[in-house]
Copies of this chain bind each other. A is one copy, B any other.
Amino acid sequence: MKSSIKEVAHLAQVSIATVSYVLNGTKRVRPETEKRVMDAVRKLNYQVNPLARNLRKGESKLIGFVVSDFGNYFFQEIAMGLEAQLAAAGYSLILIDSKEQKEIEIENVKNLIAQAVDALVIAPTTEDCSYLSLLLANNPIPAIMIDRRPEGFVSDLILATNEQGAYEAVKALTERGHRNIAFMGEKRDSTMLERLQGYTRALEEAQIPINANYIRFGSHSSGSQRILKHGTMYHHTFDLLSNHNITAIFSGNNMGTIGIFSCIKETNLKVPEDLAFITFDDEFWLTMTSPAITAVAQNPDEMGKVAGNLVLERLRKNPDEEYSYQEIRISTHLIIRGSI
């Protein structure tokens, strides 16, 4: 049914080594011999057995991508960019969802190592990544972190220009005369703190004092989009709109935006007349609301591509060759829509 290199060799009247050389182009072979081999290959419809090759070469041509939340469109886009880049180099991507739970993330990494992936790309659920040092200690494969700065583990790192993105967004608000601007961040992690810095810088530049009441963080456990609609951020929004006279909200990420916008929708506030709204992360549905929502667009496709290239680069390097880890920032841009 499935033919092996042995049968090809036999049919072509050569040794199996020669077949391998022809197929891989790893050694000179007389044209005549090559033809005999290729004819046999075609006749038998031979394809190499990747299982055998993998064992011999000690690689699997598999890359694992551990995603903190696969329900988040942002990571889906990254995955697509990554996959495109890796597929071109003959690698396949194993995608696996941590559902924002650290234990699942650790389990996922273990499983991927058990599948002998050649490298890992990880969007960690939390910053504590010390477990990776342990798991990779006697299994030194490249690991590239994305979206969040890990603690307890050094590696290549791909991040957005969070501070700058937030700064530009909030600046767009101050320029329109807003002074009471809320900052709402779903998760309090390094990424969100960078965005908070951008918020702070824009306010300072406009000589607006920081009001701690206007800065809100959500619960750490984010759930599905449906749950988020009436989650912590929803209630924070309700409080801000009822008890504080804010005129604009800047949402630190797309997940928080769900709760915030759900609340806004339920009030009778007019956007943008009564309340201006901007969110980090551009997502498709932001254009389907009335009015459409202004957003700081990241470039997840680009992040995925860059991650892919970095993986390939690392894989080409000799493992003990010295290598300095890279930190790459992917730029954001503000897309202005009707909500401000």
Contacts and interface: CB of A to CB of B under 8 A. Distances in A.
A290 B288 contact: no
Interface in A53-105: 54-55, 58, 60-62, 70-71, 76, 79-80, 83, 87, 92-97
Given A55-B52, A114-B47, A138-B1, A92 B96 contact: yes
A115 B92 contact: yes
Given A50-B115, A83-B97, A115-B61, A140 B76 contact: no
Q: Taking the full assembly, how many copies of this chain does it contain? A: 2
Interface residues of A, number: 50
Given A55-B51, A115-B50, A226-B284, A94 B96 contact: no
Interface string A256-289: 0010011001000000000000000000110111
Interface in A103-141: 111-116, 138-140
A155 interface: no
B285 A265 contact: no
Contact of A45 (B95, B138, B287): B138
A55 B111 CA distance: 19
Contacts of A58: 51
Contacts of A176: none
A50 B116 contact: yes
Contact of A94 (B51, B80, B92): B92
B60 A83 contact: no
Nearest to A290: B290
Interface of A: 1-3, 45, 47, 49-52, 54-55, 58, 60-62, 70-71, 76, 79-80, 83, 87, 92-97, 111-116, 138-140, 225-226, 229, 258, 261-262, 265, 284-285, 287-290
